[in-house]
Amino acid sequence: MTLLIMVLLVVVGCGSGPPTGATADQGPAVRQVGVSEFADAVAAADVFVINVHTPDEGSIAGTDVWIPFDQLSQRATELPGDRSTPIALYCMTGRMSAVAAGTLTSMGYSNLIELSGGMKAWTAAGRALQPPGS
C-alpha cells in the first residue's frame, strides 16, 4: 500500500511543473509589451527590430530585418553579435514571435521585447504597416 501511494505521488508530481513550450522556456529574458511600448522600443536607436512572420505580409516601420521565425538559427549572422542587445520582435498574432523568442533565448539573447498581439494588435491600434518587401 505504501509503495502504491509513493508511485502515485511520483506520477502526480511529474506532471505538476510549469507548462512546456516557448513561453515557459523564455523566462525573464522576454518581455511582452503592448503597442505603445513596442512603438517606443522600435523608435529607440539601440533596439534591433525583427519581423519573424512568414510569409512576409508587411512590416512595422523601423524594422531592421525580416527573418522567418523558423530560420533564426540558420540566419544567425544577421543578428546582433552582442547577445545583450535589445531585440524587439513581432509577427502577425504573436504565435510565431513566441517561438522566435524561445529560439533567441536558447541562442543566448537576454533582452527580448515581444509585441503582444502582433501586427493585428498594431493595426487595431490605428498604426500602419509597410507593404511586403519594403
User: Tell me: the pLDDT tens digits for 23-80?
Assistant: 444 456 899 999 999 999 999 999 999 999 988 899 999 999 999 999 999 999 999 9
Planar angle of CA 118, 58, 92, nearest 5 degrees: 20
pTM: 0.78
The ranges assigned to domains in the chain are 25-124
Fold of 25-124: Oxidized Rhodanese; domain 1 (3.40.250)
Of the chain, the percentage scoring pLDDT greater than 90 comes to 74
Q: Are 84 and 111 in contact (CB under 8 A)?
A: yes
